[in-house]
Structure formats: C-alpha cells, structure tokens
Amino acid sequence: MASTTPGAAFPIVQHLCFNEDNSAFVCSTTKGFQTCHTDTAKVLLSGPAFPDGGAKIAQMIQREGSCFVALVGDGKSTLYPSNKVLVWSEAVRKFIIELGFKGKVLNLCLRHDRIVVVMQTQLHVYTFSTRPEKLCVIETGNNPQGLCALSQLTAAPIVAFPVRDEGSLQITNLGSSDGVVVNAHHNALVCFALNADATRLATASAKGTCIRIFDTRTGDSVREVRRGIEHSLIRCMSFYTDSTRLLVASDKEDKSGTIHMFSLSNDDSVQNKHSKLFGLRSVLPSVFSSEWSFCQFHLDSPQPAQRSAQAYRTVCAFGPDKDTFIVVGYRGTIYRCSVDPKSKHNCKLLTTANFT
C-alpha cells in the first residue's frame, strides 16, 4: 500500500485522476506512475521507474484501442523535469510524445484529439498525434493551481479556464473560438468541472461553502447547492452521466474528508435537504433557502503517522449507476459506496481495496 508519510520507503501518491469513463484511474507517485481498475484496484499498467524523482501530474485516456498516459515529472530528475510533458503509449511501451516549455507545467487535460497544457498564465493547445501541432496559446488569468476543464465526449472541444477577474472563468469552444465569461464567485476559484456533454459547469471557490451550476452556452446560473457553512477545500467534482446528480469531495485542515451527493433534477427519486426554516426563506438570509446534499460519506481519519498535506485528499466519480460511486484516496485506498435508502439516504461502504 502506498504511504503518504514523508520519507517512507513506499512511494508517495502525488496525483490521482480518472480516465474519461471512470473505469480506471492513473496514480502518480514519487517512483513513477501506474493505472488501476476502478472497481478492483488491479494494476493495469505500470510505467517505467523514475530514477531520483517521480511523476507530479498524470492524465490517462483510451484512444484507438490503447491506453495513453500524459505526465509531468516532479522536477527532481533531469530526465523528468517539471517543464516537460511526456506521453506514454501502452501499445509500444515507451514515450511517444515530448513537449518542452519555458516554465513549470501545472496541469494537463486530454481528449482524443487535443492535448491542453496548463501554465500559470497560459494554455497551450496541441493536436493529439505522434507529431503534435500547436494550435494556439490562450492567455488566462493568474492560475497557480493549474485549474482547467476539457470536454471529453463533445464533437467540438470545450475548455474552461480562469480569467483575470477573481472568481470568474471563461468557457471556450476551441473549434470556433466562441466563448462566454462566467462571473461565478466573489472568492478565488479552487475547482470546477464540466458535465458529459459540456452543457453544464459546476464551480467552487476557496470559501468552499456553495457550489454553483452554470449553463455553458449562456453563462447563466441554473442552480446553487450548499456543501456547508464552515470553510472547506473542495478538491473534486463529478457529474453523473445524465447530469441529474453531482458528487463533491472536500476536506478540512486536520479533519477527515467528506463526499457529498446532490440531486440536480426535480424528477429525481430523492431530493436535496433544506433548512427547517425553508418556508421563511423570503425573510431570512440566503443560507436558509439553500439546498444541502441528500447523501454524505465520511472517510476515516488517518493515523497520526500517516497525516500529511495529502492525507485527506480524494477524487470521486460515479459508478455504473447514479446510486453508486467510487472514492480514491491519496493514502492508497479505494472506497466503493452506495446510497442507502434505508438510512435516510446516507451512504454505505460496500467494499474497500488498496492500490500501489
């Protein structure tokens, strides 16, 4: 099992990311990278060992019947610097693409026809081929976290990225350059996610109390749901395939992480919770008119020896139906969970498995 304890002999997990259909995920560690099956935790692909350094960021995609992993090193090895993007092909068991940059690469986004490289104030957009063609460079706002979202299943590539005004972002069609600016929050953005057909965008700010849903074509707000009233860092958000539900993973300093499930459809069999004073919402502060998650899953707190900056961090995604979901933690554990209708729609743990 992976350890997140600094100085431990086991590889430290540095980044986790699901593939385009959530059937697998890629794990970047201080030793390299590997891909794992979401349900079983079985290792599908182990990349080459990284001498004197590891992989800081990795994204994976199934393309032309094979798996590709794009990654950035943590900069500790000259072979895998933090200013270079490498793409590994499972079919030929080697790196087939290498892209170099003047500054540090903060994030990557992949789809079958595009590679988007995220820098602190720019996006570099390439064709996805063995000889990538640079299509454009997009100026962004200051983006130290490397925030970016790229559509997977749409015919035209849709990308979302922060702009200069704090709390705002732009949604752009890379095929036509059409776009809209969304003024999402008063505080800095920390997380946002597109749904499957890129018609909806979920956003969260550094405050971490509410999540807002926007129409990507108009930029209009269509819904707002509340995670809580205390500040928390939202790490990951994921829509169900038909956009009727939303998963949100968050954690607080020195506290265990929590997964919230929200309903986004009035036709759903379950609905979000409301305050007992919801009926007086017209004369009370907005918090009393909020929609709260109908289902929550709380992760166990790590042992003191395992606690670190990453110990509470998770990524989440829906399973084969909207009542099941997968949580993958940086401590090296996969949790498979489901909504429990017998317990006021709280979540129950079905299985756990360890990876790495």
Supply the pLDDT for residue 254.
61
Q: Closest Cα to residue 136, out of 146, 157, 119, 122?
A: 122
Supply the pLDDT for residue 274.
81
Give dist(CA 237, CA 270) in Å, integer: 19
Supply the pLDDT for residue 16.
97
Supply the pLDDT for residue 304.
54
Beta strands 94-100 and 107-111, pairing class: unpaired
Q: What three-state secondary structure class fits 304?
A: helix
Give dist(CA 318, CA 181) in Å, integer: 28
> Left, alpha or beta for 138 (phi > 0: left; psi -120 to 50: alpha)?
beta
> Left, alpha or beta for 7 (phi > 0: left; psi -120 to 50: alpha)?
left
Beta strands 245-251 and 258-263, pairing class: antiparallel
Supply the pLDDT for residue 346.
79
Supply the pLDDT for residue 31.
92
Specify the DSSP element, H or E, that contains 279. Answer: none
Measured in degrees and rounded to the nearest 5, phi and psi for residue 127 equal -70, 150
- Tokens representing 17 are 């990311």
pLDDT tens for each residue of 22-47: 999 999 999 999 999 998 899 999 99
pLDDT tens for each residue of 254-274: 667 899 999 999 998 888 988
Query: pLDDT below 50 — which residues of the chain?
Result: 1-8, 278-281, 283-284
Supply the pLDDT for residue 7.
43
Q: Which residue has the tokens 């489901």?
A: 338
